[in-house]
Amino acid sequence: MLQAEVMPLLPTDDEYLRIRSLRFVRRMFLMRQLGTFLCFFPIMSVLLENGAPKITLAILALNAFLWPAVAYLVSSRSKDLIKVEQRSLTIDAVWGGLWVALMGISPMPAFIILAIQISDRYAAGGWKQLRPALLAFSLTFISVWSITGYPIRLTFSPQTVWLTLPLATLYLVALSVLSRQLTVRLRDKSREFERVALLDPRLHIPNRRLFEQRLSSAWLQSQRGALTAWLMLLDVDNFKQVNDTYGHEVGDFLLAEISEALRDVINVKDVPARFGGDELAVIVNNGHPREIFQLAGKILKRVEKIRLPCDEAYRCTVSIGITSAKSAASASEWLRYADHALYETKRAGKNGFSMSDGLVSLNNTQEPETEA
């Protein structure tokens, strides 16, 4: 008996693949051992009631207590662990067909065993895994059943019922626990993959896709009065000249340094992001206009400390455009106002910041009005 488990995704790295596959085989062993142990007692009860010979009881004991270890050793020492383990799943079905036939289709343990066999294999590999298992089960059952004279024993003793109950309860509980663990693991992996997909791989900050999601969320919360959000757009001054002079690798290094500078200066609740090629952005939550001006000044000073390994004389500067979410009728308009403020900064000579609501702009030589 095997747990409902999806086959692990196979990475390209051989060593990592074997580690993942071995973990899978170990989980198979634990559930196979539990299943054969729990099956042993109801099958033994029926066989004893039917007067089965000792050799049959000995084979049952070997199946229950030796076969799981043999299957594990064979799979763990093979080159293709998953393929061999899938073969063991089919052999499990052969065992199941054998015992159902020898019990004369005794309903109480037989149908529970069959149901677990079907659900396990379908969960483990879908129809591709279930089809050979059903075929193996059916062929074994028909062959053994015909050889033994097609016995049918529809009655069963209270002892058999009581011995079958652990199989119908404990095994299913264990199956549910492992299925739940697998679901949680897959969900966490999915979230991790999504998180990685939404991060810029070089700057380790949100990319434009995630930035636009956070921008819309911040604008909505600002309109509801849940927070006061500000948007800062940053453009690296003369970035093309850096790429042309030192190469794109140096340009990427510079952007990474600026990204780190932003993370050092802003608060944990703020959201830095890569907006475009050489443009970065920061969503600042719950800031007063004067605090936003001070933050912009800190960013300018922090960026000026960045040095290039290939040119100690290089001095980095950025232009910043700032606007408040409350001044915009939509998230796209909010972004447009910040872009307008950024343009005003560049037109004023770069290396500074401007605050705009789309109509009026303040630059870093002016003091913002204090909000009521």
Q: Contact 340/259 with Cβ under 8 angstroms?
A: no
What pLDDT score was predicted for residue 12? Answer: 44
What pLDDT score was predicted for residue 360? Answer: 42
User: Mean per-residue pLDDT for 215-240?
Assistant: 90
Over the stretch 241-251, which tens digit does the pLDDT of each residue have?
A: 988 888 888 88
Position 366 pLDDT exceeds 60: no
User: Mean per-residue pLDDT for 235-259?
Assistant: 90
What pLDDT score was predicted for residue 182? Answer: 66
Q: Which residue has the higher pLDDT, 61 or 119?
A: 61
User: Mean per-residue pLDDT for 151-171?
Assistant: 90
Backbone φ and ψ of 271, nearest 5°: -120, 105
Q: Which residue has the higher pLDDT, 255 or 225?
A: 255
Of 3-12, 56-65, 276-285, 312-321, highest mean pLDDT: 56-65
Three-state secondary-structure class, residue 287: coil
Q: What residue has token string 């659900």?
A: 119
Position 282 pLDDT exceeds 90: yes
Which band of pLDDT confidence, cut at 50, 70 and 90, is reported for residue 339? very high
Over the stretch 111-129, which tens digit does the pLDDT of each residue have?
A: 999 988 888 787 777 888 8
Query: What is the residue-wise DSSP string for 130-188?
Result: HHHHHHHHHHHHHHHHHHTT--------HHHHHHHHHHHHHHHHHHHHHHHHHHHHHHH
Query: With pLDDT > 70 as the criterion, what percentage of the chain qualifies?
Result: 87
Position 276 pLDDT exceeds 80: no
Position 141 pLDDT exceeds 70: yes
Among 88-102, 240-254, 353-367, the range scoring the smallest mean pLDDT is 353-367
Q: Which residue has the higher pLDDT, 199 or 75?
A: 75
Which band of pLDDT confidence, cut at 50, 70 and 90, is reported for residue 8? very low
In the chain, where does the domain assigned CATH 3.30.70.270 lie? Answer: 208-363
Spell out the CATH class of 208-363: alpha beta
- Largest CA-CA distance found in the chain, in angstroms, rounded: 101
CA atoms within 13 A on the CB side of 239: 20
Average per-residue pLDDT for the chain: 84
Sign of the Cα torsion 46, 163, 158, 93 reads negative
Which band of pLDDT confidence, cut at 50, 70 and 90, is reported for residue 186? low
What pLDDT score was predicted for residue 372? Answer: 35
Q: Which residue has the higher pLDDT, 303 or 123?
A: 303
Position 55 pLDDT exceeds 80: yes
Which band of pLDDT confidence, cut at 50, 70 and 90, is reported for residue 207? confident
Contacts 24+ apart (CB under 8 A), 115-119: 116/1, 116/35, 116/167, 116/171, 116/172, 117/1, 117/92, 117/93, 119/4
What pLDDT score was predicted for residue 191? Answer: 65
Q: Count CB atoms within 10 A of the CB of residue 369.
A: 9
Please give the single-letter amino acid code of residue 119: S
Among 77-81, 183-187, 206-210, the range scoring the smallest mean pLDDT is 183-187
